[in-house]
Amino acid sequence: MTVRFCPQCGAKTVSQAHFCAACGEALPGSAGNLTKRTQVVSAPSKSLLVPGFVVLSLYLLVGTGLWVFVLRSQPGPSRAASSGEERASTGGSALPQDHPQVSLPEEAKKLLTELAEKANAAPQDVKTWKTLAEAQSRAARLDASYRSAALSSYRHVLELAPNDLEALRGVGNVYYDFEEYAKAIDYYQQYLVLSPEDANVRTDLGTMYLYTNEADRALAEYQTVLAKKPDFFQAYFNMGIAYQEKGEPDKAQQALARAKALTTDKNIQTRIDQVIAQFSGTASPTPTAAPAATPARSSFQQTVEKLFRTHEIMGPRISRIEWPTPAEAHVFFQNFPMSAMPQEVRERFLGKLRTQVTDAKTANSISETAKIELIDADTNQVMETIVT
């Protein structure tokens, strides 16, 4: 089977495919090749991770454990990019062109080293090795060098507990990231023997079939998921890609339309519309609009904006920043669920931001009170307010 690569996201494709299974791009030389390239957006599920899109992780020590906060930016028909959450886990995403590169924080690297030392000192401790494997697996989404370590740690867990579900799924995920799809299928199947109702893993299994040019088997898995969970977004989205691969565009559009109806994320809905248009051959290049004039920012405002936009966790989630007054900012976020943060982590997170905004005031000789509201862009609800 001849393998080629998608010019849009870098994912592997097979010679018979007309569209990329990861991003929906029409492939060069295919009957469905279109001029407009679109990317499909994602929901926070491993079933929707797409190569080339960024994954953001916050690694903080809470007591003796590791809290990992992961956000994903775009949907695709599988967990991949994710990983490489991305083809290169660290690489090209849907971030603004001038956005700084996202990388694994030094604090996370140090913590991973400490976890490895703790695990090596307790070779029979399943819980410690699972914590290490999960941390390494998530780190690999930003730094692919951690993949082998994650695989080794998960395998150690399986030596101690052969039927451990988290480890079986973890090995499958790592093999997917290594693009060893047959091995990923084997571990996902082992997992589903023990936990057949898991919609996410069954969807991932279907996607592995899709990536190995077995669209019928992929569809069978998606249909099994939807028989139990008729509102499962990921399965409908991936089903649309699978039907398009089979040359059944009407069914593809029906599945994608259903997926669109199951999400309230306007960005994802827009991307799905683009994919539907691309599949139907009605997509056309989007005209470049003249940039709107932006009022000049003061030095304080520039400092604060840089602080937020270069933050490895918040930055890629920011949709816009508004300044109602010279010292008051409204920072709008997409898919940044602060309510999911444990209280201790949230307090640390906000405390550090408060200190940094205070430092920005001092550096720019601002004497008035500064107020920064963190706002959910979809609901316009204020999640937190920083006052200094």
State yes or no: pLDDT of 141 exceeds 60: yes
Report strand pairing: 55-62 vs 65-72: antiparallel
368: exposed, middle or buried (Cβ count in 10 Å: 0-12, 13-18, 19+): exposed
Q: Which residues are within 8 A (CB) of 209 and not within 5 positions of it... i.e. 6 or more apart?
A: 185, 215, 217, 218, 221
- 42 has a pLDDT exceeding 90: no
pLDDT digits (tens, 9 = 90+) for 86-140: 322 223 333 444 444 556 778 888 889 999 999 999 999 999 999 999 999 888 8
pLDDT of 230-261, one tens digit each?
999 989 999 999 998 888 999 999 999 999 99
pLDDT mean over 337-347? 74
* pLDDT over 70, % of the chain: 69
Is the pLDDT confidence value at 27 over 80?
A: no
Class of domain 299-387: alpha beta
Q: Which pLDDT score, from 0 to 100, does residue 319 have?
A: 84
- Does the reported pTM lie above 0.85? no
Residue with more model confidence, 5 or 309: 309
Mean pLDDT along residues 40-47: 36
**Sequence ranges of the chain with CATH classification 1.25.40.10:** 46-260
Residues facing residue 332 across a β-bridge: 320, 375
Residue 19 DSSP one-character state: B
Q: What are the structure tokens assigned to 251, written together? A: 């069914």
Kindly state the average pLDDT of the residues 184-188. Answer: 96
Distance CA 86, CA 71 (A): 13
Task: Look at residue 18 and tell me whether its pLDDT is greater than 60.
Answer: no
More confident residue, 153 or 336: 153
How far apart are alpha carbons 20 and 8 in whole angstroms? Answer: 9
All CATH 3.30.300 domain ranges of the chain, comma separated, are: 299-387
Q: Which of 210, 213, 212 is nearest to 222 (CA)?
A: 210
- Long-range (24+ apart) CB contacts under 8 A made by 252-256 are 252/279, 253/279, 253/280
Give percent of the chain with pLDDT exceeding 90: 43
The 8-class DSSP code of residue 98 comes to: T
CATH of 46-260 given 1.20.1250.20, 3.90.190.20, 3.40.190.10, 1.25.40.10: 1.25.40.10
pLDDT of 14 strictly over 80: no
Question: What band does 282 get if pLDDT is binned at 50, 70 and 90?
Answer: low
pLDDT in tens, 47-95: 433 322 222 233 332 222 333 332 222 334 444 333 333 322 223 333 4
